[in-house]
A = this chain, B = another copy of it.
Amino acid sequence: MSGQSQFSVVPEGTVTTPKGFRAGGLHCGLKKTERHDLGAIVCDVPAAAAGVYTLNAFQAAPLRVTQESIARDGKLQAMIVNSGNANACTGQQGEDDARAMRTVAAQALGVAEHHVGVTSTGVIGELLPMGKVLSGIEQLPQRVKQDGGDDFCQAILTTDLVQKMTCVRLKVGGKEIHIAGAAKGSGMIHPNMATMLGFMTTDANIESQYLQQLLNRITDNTFNMITVDGDTSTNDMVVIMASGLAENEALTPEHPDWEAFAAGVQYVGEYLAKAIARDGEGATKLIETTVIGAENDEAARKIVKSIIGSSLVKSAVYGADANWGRIIAAVGYSGQPVNVNTVDIRLGDIVVLEQSRPVKFDEEAALVYLKTDTIQIHVNLNMGTGKATGWGCDLTYDYVRINAAYRT
């Protein structure tokens, strides 16, 4: 990752570490247990904003409302999120509800309505209990605080087991700036633009248009390169807000520190993406797959996704079975150009296939490696310079258990 040495990770950093941001969460009654199910990130000033959204045809109502807000003047001052109910496939009523969330949040927080974004995650096709949601939103101003990053993070989880958060700092034009992010993932994870929900904050000074350009670029290499189950949600969204309070000279692609800043944003995106994959429903292992030597990057990306999306590869990793035949089968059905005589495959450092020919390997060593919690699959097609990396997880009994009884 170019420029990685130019930023450093902020231990315990959250989405409120960048200057100007507060956050919080509370339980308003959407989840059955007393866990947080409503949260907000609020900025002291209108922040330059950018977003990427699901390509699922049934895009949920709140995504449309958020897009509308950002379209007005490229800024957001608050992002409201609820978990437990996706407000998707809920028709005109769902759209009215998402708008009502925005209106009430704007009033409660004292910000312009078009500077509020809203998003939801949870069950599809049920109307939001608006009494609970709106009275929850009215309590947000008291809950939103400088150390509320953890509360916010809890509010966005559904079947997630762990919070997903990170923060880095780096110098831009001599000023210290921060980039932070929080995400939720778990199931219905096969983002076709971004993952379920990602929220990034920064105090860098950067205009909305450049922020959008950067978000698009890093999304292709991070959130769009993970899969848990091949299902693309109706509610996928990643939003980034930049307060500008670090007071650096405005960042543009021509700025000498642009690539360093981009590397910081890439790191945060990749960190969250990997955290989502590792915490996929029922997962016990992260599968990191790298393809090199492909005809081009796009081909490499598709082959990576074919491998990490294969139920058979995922089951084999769960069972610690060095079944490279399933990996090559997934390469073969990816629909991408492949030279069937030149493929190399490694599991970690263990070479299992060379020039498409099986290599005698130490089964015991492979078993030990496949029992670790991060499994790397390396494929070299030896055809061209295309490369890509993506992340998935193993397929386990627990995935089935969780999803056999999610709604009920």
Residues of B contacting A188 in the complex (Cβ-Cβ under 8 angstroms): 312, 326, 329
Mark contacts of A188-207 with chain B using CB atoms, 8 A cut-off: 1 yes-contact digit, 0 otherwise: 10101000000000000000
Report whether B91 and A357 are in contact in the complex, using a CB–CB cutoff of 8 Å.
yes
> Which residues on B sit within 8 Å (CB–CB) of A56?
329, 332-333
Q: At the interface, is chain A mostly helix, strand, loop or mixed?
A: loop
Q: Is the CB of B230 within 8 A of A230?
A: yes
Kindly identify, within residues 309 to 346 of chain A, every residue whose CB is under 8 Å from any CB belonging to chain B.
Answer: 309-312, 315-316, 318-319, 321-326, 328-333, 338, 340-341
A408 within 8 A of B: yes
A401 contacts the other chain (Cβ, under 8 Å)? yes
Q: Are B89 and A328 in contact (CB under 8 A)?
A: yes
Taking the complex as formed, is A232 at the interface, i.e. its CB lies under 8 A from any CB of chain B?
Answer: yes
* List of B residues within 8 angstroms of A288 by Cβ: none
> Which residues of B lie under 8 Å from residue A310 when comparing CB positions?
229-231
A404 touching B318, Cβ below 8 Å: yes
Measured CA separation A309–B310 after assembly (Å):
11
A315 CB contact (under 8 Å) in B91, B318, B323, B399: B399
Contacts A312-B187, A397-B400, A403-B319 given; indicate if A88 touches B333 (C-beta within 8 A): no
For residue A162, CB closer than 8 A to chain B, the reply is no
A329 touches B58 (CB 8 A): yes
Bound-state CA distance A395–B229 (Å) is 12
Residue A123 is within 8 A (CB to CB) of chain B in the complex: yes
Inter-chain CA distance A192–B335, complex, in Å, is 11
Nearest CB of B to A276, in Å? 16
Is the Cβ of A324 less than 8 Å from the Cβ of B400?
A: no
Q: Which residues of chain B come closer than 8 Å to A90, judged between CB atoms?
A: 358
Residues in B neighbouring A88, C-beta threshold 8 A: 325, 329
State the CA gap A129–B353 with chains docked (Å): 20
Q: A44 at interface (Cβ–Cβ under 8 A)? A: no
Interface residues of A in 339-386 (CB under 8 A from B): 340-341, 353, 356-358
What string of 1s and 0s marks CB contacts (under 8 Å) between A71-82 and chain B? 000000000000
Also in contact, A333 and B55, with CB within 8 A (given A230-B230, A400-B396): yes
User: Which residues of B are found within 8 Å of A89, using beta-carbon distances?
Assistant: 325, 328, 353, 356, 358
Partner of A192, one of B330, B331, B333, B353: B333
- Given that A126-B358, A328-B125 are known contacts, is A321 also in contact with B407, CB under 8 Å in the complex? yes
Interface flag for A219 (CB, 8 Å): no
State whether the Cβ of A57 lies closer than 8 Å to any Cβ in chain B: yes
Contact (Cβ within 8 A) A57 B331: yes
25 residue pairs of the A-B complex, CB under 8 angstroms, read A55-B333, A56-B329, A56-B332, A58-B328, A58-B338, A59-B332, A89-B328, A89-B358, A91-B341, A125-B353, A188-B312, A188-B326, A230-B230, A232-B329, A315-B402, A316-B403, A316-B407, A319-B403, A319-B404, A321-B406, A322-B407, A323-B406, A395-B403, A396-B400, A399-B400
Give 4 nearest A-B pairs by CB, closest first. Answer: A124-B325, A319-B404, A315-B403, A232-B333
A interface with B by C-beta (< 8 Å): 55-59, 86, 88-91, 123-126, 187-188, 190, 192, 229-234, 309-312, 315-316, 318-319, 321-326, 328-333, 338, 340-341, 353, 356-358, 395-397, 399-408
